[in-house]
Chains A and B, each alone.
Chain A
């Protein structure tokens, strides 16, 4: 059993994210100095966002000191962050063999188990963590009435993390009733609170994290708040949590009394989240990580490998094909890009984003008839896609189909008018109205407007 002191690293592990936890060990002085060991180098590189370099240094450290828990854990943690899951598991196991009761390590193992979809293993690790708390705390956690739990969790942040992660796991497994019972039992949500109303109110403030929290609480505390549950699902879809996103959108559609909304929810799952195609948790996480390795880290080789693994694990999941295509296009190989998009459509012909991306690429290549076909499909799948309508309008204009161009562009402008400024498109339409077609193609901006449709 842990003493209060022993709980400190656990609390730190919970409270700090991986970045911050690793960074915390490196903040020794205000002036930069060369780190002395490979572990320090790894931490410093990770802190500076040089993740590939960090992993390389962590590998050297762990290879040089195979019995040093810090080196092993650093390697495992960075490997997990970068989606190198097999490597992460190997080194977590090695570290755990040396210090089986290290709370920080148990927490990271729980996190890892969750990454790869081993929910039961993750829950078991969380229970192990719970068991390391002092007896009286555990007793209160188990038996104290709900009105005392809020204070207990406040005083023991590690307990709150355990509960919150369990709630995420239960929701992801689709057991919403149990997740809600847990949230109510530990006073995470209070009866009679209008979380959905609060979510709508904070949306005006544009603090994204506050909006996110309010949606999550609404989902847990107001089972009938169909709109908020649905919005939460769409939000998660943008963040890359495909599995939980599906659960939420399906739940929102189930709860809503409106037949049109039910139909709309079903369509969303079909065209944005791959319908009921199998996407294992490991594939979802690999995709989510690969995407950021590509976009933020510029690590093409690493990202490509993860996308390929993702495709192997979930061949019906269209998103990784899209990214393989975008990477090929960035490298200048447009034909390869088209081939990847086509593979994506073969895997999931209802993927709105794949039709859209393919249509836009074909338009760039001036292959207008093919582009028109895919962009028509795009706006057919999602009629409120203003960017899609504008892209289609541009292609129609290029083909000389001016009446249809006008119809598509006007539809987009009407839709976007209240939400965003697209001055250049309006100016083009006004000139077109006065003088008819000109030599230059119309602009086709692609503004982000609706939560749930912005990121893949």
Chain B
């Protein structure tokens, strides 16, 4: 009887004892930041219980972190088939998006919009939290519960409802914006009720969508007066989303009415972004490698992810630069220099790679090469304080003191927070007391 009961219980969990053991081992490895080992455990668990949604989700997560996108997608799909919840479909959609599979991404995300009840639950939680915080702050003035706390709870609850309802559709929208054509994305926005007559989407009011979505709307609806999109495009591209960043900034270059906006967008496109449209999967693998390197501190796995990004697009210079940075952090300066040089060969305008080439050459005491790289960096971006500081240091180390001091001076003028350089100059020349006529005013 007991055995039968246990069998029924196990069947209910959808996972065998063996699978459970491997899943738990997998999570243990994840906690230890041993992601490769975790993936192996989850694979083993999936072998034992291929129908378990829990196992498939765990397998998908580990595979996604390591840039094993095909396996991640099929695991999420298997999980969605077994347990078709909103969250699982969203996982499928996001993974498909990262792999550049637009149709699957949209289809899956549409299944992940969530029900009215789910959004209402989010609203209730937010409303209750607001009411609780508000009540404790006005206590014991109980009448203010009616005048302040209930309206505040209503307002925040309503916002939470809208935010929950529009969250996944916004992801669909961003995929459509990136995939094009414009009309399809606009039709989607119209369908969601996000379009307003005569609205300025750089200064949106009462729209239940994020800053990113309004930025996309500004680009689609009134690109000629979307000055906010220069910063938006710059920021989103700096975060690794190079393709959508390119689209936003290219639109600014083509259509912005303000010449300064056009110029800034043009500069960023030229020196801070790849010189071509990068396959989505390469972009995603580069981001994956970056996360592995910086957040998870897994350099070996990071290099593998970067290598996959290169395999997906050998003309994408960012992963080359990132591998170089990884070696530079490990003080393997020869390797670092080689990778930075490759990045520059692929994209001679890659500003960060040029600067990093200088850093690696500098560490190797190849002063002429370092000075050339830093000077090129400065020629491209005269406001790059760190490059001035580095050039200053390299010139001083190479015995060209006067020029070096000048560069350090420019660096600290551009960025007064460069304390080490400031101290060096002060020790050399005395404190620069030109700012004011008395000791107090000059500080």
Residues of A within 8 A of B (CB): 17-20, 29-34, 36, 44, 46-50, 81, 111, 114-115, 164-165, 167-169, 172, 208-209, 212, 216, 236, 238-241, 244, 281, 285, 288-289, 291-292, 295-298, 448, 454-455
Contacts of B442 in A (CB 8 A): 17, 239
Alpha-carbon gap, A238 to B427, bound state (A): 11
**Could you say which residues of chain A place their CB within 8 Å of the CB of B429?**
291-292, 295-296, 455
Q: Are A30 and B234 interface neighbours, CB within 8 A?
A: yes
When chains A and B are docked, how far (Å) is the Cα of A330 from the Cα of B52? 80
State the main secondary structure of chain B at its contact with A.
helix
Q: How far is the CA of A49 from the CA of B435 in the complex (A)?
A: 13
Interface of A is mostly: helix
A183 to chain B, nearest CB (A): 11
- Show the binding face of B for A, using Cβ within 8 Å: 230-231, 234, 259-260, 263-264, 267-268, 272, 381-383, 402, 405-406, 409-410, 412-414, 416, 425-443
Cross-chain contact of A81 among B259, B382, B434 (Cβ < 8 A): B434
Check A47 against B430 for contact (C-beta < 8 Å). Answer: no
Known: A29-B230, A32-B383, A50-B410. A241 touches B430 (CB 8 A): no
Residues of B within 8 A of A212 (CB): 439, 443
Residue in A closest to B431 when the chains form the complex, CB atoms? A239
**CB pairs A–B below 8 angstroms (10 shown):** A17-B436, A33-B267, A34-B260, A48-B413, A49-B413, A50-B410, A168-B439, A168-B440, A239-B439, A296-B409
Residue of A nearest to B429 (CB): A295
Smallest Cβ-Cβ distance to A112: which chain B residue: B437
Partner pick for A48 among B259, B267, B383, CB 8 A cutoff = B383
Q: How far is the CB of B32 from chain A (nearest CB, A)?
A: 38
B260 CB to nearest chain A CB (Å): 6
Which residues of the other chain, A, contact B431 by a CB distance below 8 angstroms? 208, 238-239
Residue of B nearest to A455 (CB): B430
CB-CB under 8 A from A448, the residues of chain B are 427
A168 to B231, CA, bound (A): 44
A421 to chain B, nearest CB (A): 16
Asked whether, in the complex, the Cβ of A238 is within 8 Å of the Cβ of B430, the reply is: yes
Shortest distance from the beta carbon of B396 to any chain A beta carbon, whole Å: 14
Q: How far is the CA of A165 from the CA of B437 in the complex (A)?
A: 10
Give chain A residues whose Cβ lies under 8 Å from the Cβ of B443. 17, 209, 212
Closest CB-CB distance, A411 to chain B, in whole Å? 25
Report the bound CA distance from A239 to B268 in whole Å.
Answer: 42
> Please, which residue of chain B has its CB at the minimum distance from the CB of A330?
B402
B414 proximity list for chain A (CB < 8 A): 47-49
Tell whether, in the assembled complex, residue B432 and residue A292 are in contact, meaning their CB atoms are under 8 Å apart.
Answer: yes
Contact of A49 among B263, B410, B439, B440 (CB under 8 A): B410
Contacts A111-B441, A216-B439, A238-B430 given: A33-B413 contact, CB under 8 Å? no
In angstroms, Cα B416 to Cα A60, docked, is: 27
Q: Which residues of A contact B438 (CB under 8 A)?
A: 114, 165, 168-169, 172, 241, 244
Task: Check A296/B272 contact, CB under 8 A, given A47-B414, A48-B382.
Answer: no
Q: Knowing A32-B267, A36-B260, A296-B432 touch, does A165 contact B409 (C-beta < 8 A)?
A: no
Of A32, A238, A240, A454, the residue contacting B381 (CB under 8 A) is A32
